[in-house]
Chains A and B, each alone.
Chain A
Amino acid sequence: MAVDVKVVTYRDIFQYEAGKKGVHSEEYLRLSASIILDKQDLASLGIAEGGRVLVESDVNKIVVSATASTDEPHPGLAFMIKSPWSNQLEGDDSCLPGAPGFRGIRARVSPSSEDITQMAQILERLQS
């Protein structure tokens, strides 16, 4: 079971604050490694609020927690705070760094039993 979405990134002041305290902190991880899905999209995945999902784009995949949107219905549209996690979904095909995130990254979201992707894993990927 999976849903296809466009992931749009945004800035969040609370995540900024957490990052200033330390990007290796639990708080920064909690706020960054998370995706907001439309309520119906989340329900169709058969997972509860806060459940883990695999988010796969053309270039990479991450495991994050999923939460239900409190916004008006937006099926097929998902939101992530801009962070190394959302950045993992973007390749280098764009000459415009950060650009795809603001326009929408095409991704497939499915339930996952794997652990949330950690910052250390992201750093390993960046060095590979």
Chain B
Amino acid sequence: MTEFDYKTCTGCSLLCEDILFPDEDSISHAKNLCRKGLAHYQALFVERTGPLIEGKEASIDQAIEKGAEILRNASAPVIYGWSNCTLEAQMAGLALAEKIGAFVDDPSSHCEGRLMEMLLSGRIPSCTLDDVRHFADTAIFWGSDPSSTQPRHLSRFSYFPRGSKRQKSYEEERTCIVVDVRESSTAKLCPTTTYRVPPGEDLQFLEALLAVLDGKIPKFGDKKRMIELGSIIKKTEYGVIFPGPGMLISLQDKMDRFEDLLRRLNEITTFKVLPVTEQYNSRGFGQLLFERTGRTKAVKFSPSGEAAAGPTLVEAAKEADAILVLGADPLLDLPAGLARAFAAAPLIVIDPRRSLTADLAQVVIPAAISGLEGGGTALRTDGVKISFEPLMKSEQPTDEQILTRIMEAI
């Protein structure tokens, strides 16, 4: 019997563990990588960066020492990013944050943070992706578009697979529902069960759904279609809602009504919730921070290492006299006003590749690419811990090693 040496892809938070690289030391002819995963690994060969201080080449020892010096002298340091780092790196980074009294936050906190707090505190029921694969007959992608962000979501777990209780799968047993403002790639799979919601009106949709579940006439949307949706839900045996940023941002401080909806759904049948986190270890950071501090986002450590609710990221970035960025590119991803605050602060960037943030950084420390050049563990989007070994050897240190060395130098 042939034994395959499967690898784990860190291209997104599905952490697919069935990747084969027939050619050692090369990603050519890789099997099972999706378009996003392949792009993630092709990045190995382009836009790599070396150690830089003030834009000039330096040794990695000099870059680490300079980064440590900036952080040592900072009175309001920020550590931002985290989502593309292993759990081991996140633990090392949090130890550093405690030591220097830093504010910490990650890119997903603005949308998934509240949902994660509700999940981790047990306020809304969740499950694993393996449960989805084997049991779920209704998947609701609400403001999420996994075909774009987690390309193998539907094929591995939520729509196409023949799970143990869903052998007739999408042909007969699974229903895919999309709630979105636009015709997303996922919505194209299920045009008759796609529900359009204007931007910012997800609460009205939620209230209409609660109404039809109670046998009332909905006051939002196409009444006939809303009643049809209610009928699908009432026939569901095991449903899962996958909320995305479109829904989470729209609901914002009305997430209590989402909790009410889940309570009502579970009076009728079984319904779970799973986040659709984008970066491969967003869940890991949120969960780790929650276990340490009781919060999933925006935590400020005091100089003595005590954790408390921090200011907003905007406020923290504007006051920062040093920002350590790892596993993110805030100048690429954040709104201009906030990105400008980052650009104005002394930046230390740990990144395998050139990025917009690295282009403006005082110090750039190159790292190995997780999953390809460095191993470790991460939490899949459903919280399942996944371990992975590197595919290739690299001379670059891992994020964890760099953070540990910075800590020692401080």
- Chain A residues packing against B (C-beta within 8 Å): 6, 8, 10-14, 16-17, 19-23, 59-60, 71-72, 74, 77, 79, 82-84, 87-104, 122-123, 125-128
Partner of B337, one of A59, A83, A103, A128: A59
Q: Given the complex, which residues of A lie within 8 Å of B182, measured CB to CB?
A: 8, 10, 71, 74, 79
Q: Tell me the interface secondary structure of chain B in the complex.
A: helix
User: Is the CB of B359 closer than 8 A to any CB of chain A?
Assistant: yes
* Distance from A29 Cβ to chain B, minimum over Cβ atoms (Å): 13
Contact A95 B336 (CB under 8 A): no
In the complex, A118 Cα to B120 Cα: how many Å? 42
Contact sample, A vs B, 27 pairs, CB 8 Å cutoff: A10-B148, A11-B148, A11-B149, A12-B148, A13-B151, A17-B38, A20-B40, A23-B355, A59-B336, A72-B183, A74-B182, A77-B181, A79-B182, A84-B356, A90-B335, A90-B336, A91-B337, A92-B340, A98-B107, A98-B245, A102-B111, A102-B250, A103-B200, A104-B199, A123-B356, A123-B359, A128-B340
Contact A101 B331, beta carbon cutoff 8 Å: no
Q: Which residues of B contact A (CB under 8 A)?
A: 35-36, 38-40, 42-43, 46-47, 107, 110-111, 143, 145, 147-149, 151, 181-185, 196, 198-200, 245-246, 249-250, 252, 278, 312-314, 331-341, 343-344, 355-356, 359-360
B314 to chain A, nearest CB (A): 5
Contact: A125 with B249, CB < 8 Å? no
Provide the residues of chain A in CB contact with B313, threshold 8 Å: 95, 97
- Asked whether A87 and B47 contact (CB < 8 A) given A72-B183, A102-B245, A104-B199, the answer is no
Distance in angstroms between the alpha carbons of A22 and B271 in the assembled complex: 41
Complex Cα distance, B258 from A55, in Å, reads: 34
Find out whether the CB atom of B337 lies under 8 angstroms from the CB atom of A98. Answer: no
Residues of B within 8 A of A71 (CB): 182-183
Beta-carbon contact of B335 and A98 below 8 Å: yes
Residues of A within 8 A of B340 (CB): 92, 125-128
Q: How far is the CA of A99 from the CA of B114 in the complex (A)?
A: 13
In the assembled complex, the CB of B35 is this many whole angstroms from the nearest CB of chain A, namely 6
Residue of B nearest to A90 (CB): B335
- A6, A96, A122 — most chain B CB neighbours (10 Å): A96
Task: Quote the shortest CB–CB distance from A13 to chain B (angstroms).
Answer: 5
In the bound complex, residues from chain A placing their C-beta under 8 Å from that of B107 are 97-98
Q: Which residues of A contact B249 (CB under 8 A)?
A: 96, 98-99, 102-103
CB–CB B145/A11 < 8 A: yes
Q: Contact at A95–B149, with CB atoms within 8 Å?
A: no
Given A59-B336, A98-B249, A103-B249, CB of A17 within 8 Å of CB of B35 = yes
Query: What separation, in Å, do the CA atoms of A83 and B332 have in the docked complex?
Result: 7
Q: Which chain A residue has the least Cβ–Cβ distance from B198?
A: A77
The residue on B at minimum CB distance from A96 is B110
Q: Are B35's CB and A87's CB within 8 A? A: no
Question: What residues of A have a CB within 8 angstroms of the CB of B111 in the complex?
Answer: 96, 98-99, 102
In the complex the two chains form, is A100's CB within 8 Å of B250's CB?
no
CB-CB under 8 A from A92, the residues of chain B are 314, 335-338, 340-341
- Report A108 CB to chain B, min CB distance, Å: 17
| Complex: A6 Cα to B246 Cα, angstroms | 14
Residues in B neighbouring A60, C-beta threshold 8 A: 336
How far, in whole Å, are A6 and B39 apart by their CA atoms in the complex?
Answer: 31
Taking A10-B182, A72-B196, A92-B336 as known contacts, 19 extra A-B pairs with beta carbons closer than 8 A to each other, sorted by chain A number, are A10-B246, A17-B35, A17-B39, A20-B39, A21-B43, A21-B46, A59-B337, A83-B332, A87-B333, A94-B335, A97-B107, A98-B249, A98-B333, A102-B246, A103-B250, A126-B340, A126-B343, A126-B360, A127-B343
Cβ–Cβ contact A20 & B333, under 8 A = no
B43 A87 Cβ-Cβ under 8 A: no
**Alpha-carbon gap, A79 to B182, bound state (A):** 8
Tell whether, in the assembled complex, residue B246 and residue A87 are in contact, meaning their CB atoms are under 8 Å apart. Answer: no
The answer to whether A16 and B36 touch across the interface, beta carbons within 8 angstroms, is: yes
Are the CB atoms of A84 and B46 closer together than 8 Å? Answer: no
The 3 closest A-B pairs by CB, nearest first: A92-B337, A90-B335, A104-B199
> Which residues of B lie under 8 Å from residue A88 when comparing CB positions?
336
- Chain A residue with Cβ nearest B339: A126
Decide if A77 touches B148 in the complex (CB within 8 Å).
no
Partner of B181, one of A8, A11, A59, A127: A8
Question: Known contacts A6-B199, A17-B36, A96-B110: does B334 contact A87 (CB below 8 Å)?
Answer: yes
Rounded to whole Å, the gap between the CB of B287 and the closest CB of chain A is 21
- Bound CA span A59–B200, Å: 20
- Contact status B312-A95, CB under 8 Å: yes
Residue of B nearest to A17 (CB): B39
Within the complex, the shortest CB–CB distance from A51 to chain B, in Å, comes to 22
Task: Report B-chain residues with C-beta under 8 Å of the C-beta of A104.
Answer: 199-200
Of listed B149, B199, B336, residue having the most chain A CB within 10 A: B336
Minimum Cβ distance to chain B for residue A75 (Å): 12
Cα separation A15 to B185 with both chains bound (whole Å): 14
